[in-house]
Amino acid sequence: MQIDLWHFENFKGADTLVLSGQPEAILALAEALEALASSEEIEIALEEHLPVVGFSQLFVLKELVPVTGQFRWLVPASELLAAAAQVRAVAVGAPAHQYFDLVEPETVLLVTAGEYPPEWFGHRPNNSFKPNPLRGSA
Q: DSSP for the chain?
A: --EEEEEEEEETTEEEEEEEE-HHHHHHHHHHHHHHHTSS-SEEEHHHHS-EESS--EEEESS-----SSEEEE--GGGHHHHHHHHHHHHHT-SEEEEEE-SSTT-EEEEEESSS-GGGGTS-------PPPPTT--
Total domain count, the chain: 1
95-138 per-position pLDDT tens digit: 999 999 999 989 999 999 999 887 887 765 554 444 455 556 54
User: Which range marks the domain in which residue 63 is found?
Assistant: 3-121
Task: Classify residue 59: in a domain, yes or no.
Answer: yes
The pTM assigned to this predicted structure is 0.85
34-60 per-position pLDDT tens digit: 999 999 999 999 988 888 888 788 999
70-82 per-position pLDDT tens digit: 899 999 999 999 9
Q: What is the pLDDT of residue 26?
A: 96
Task: Classify residue 46: in a domain, yes or no.
Answer: yes
Task: Classify residue 27: in a domain, yes or no.
Answer: yes
Task: Classify residue 18: in a domain, yes or no.
Answer: yes
Task: Classify residue 66: in a domain, yes or no.
Answer: yes
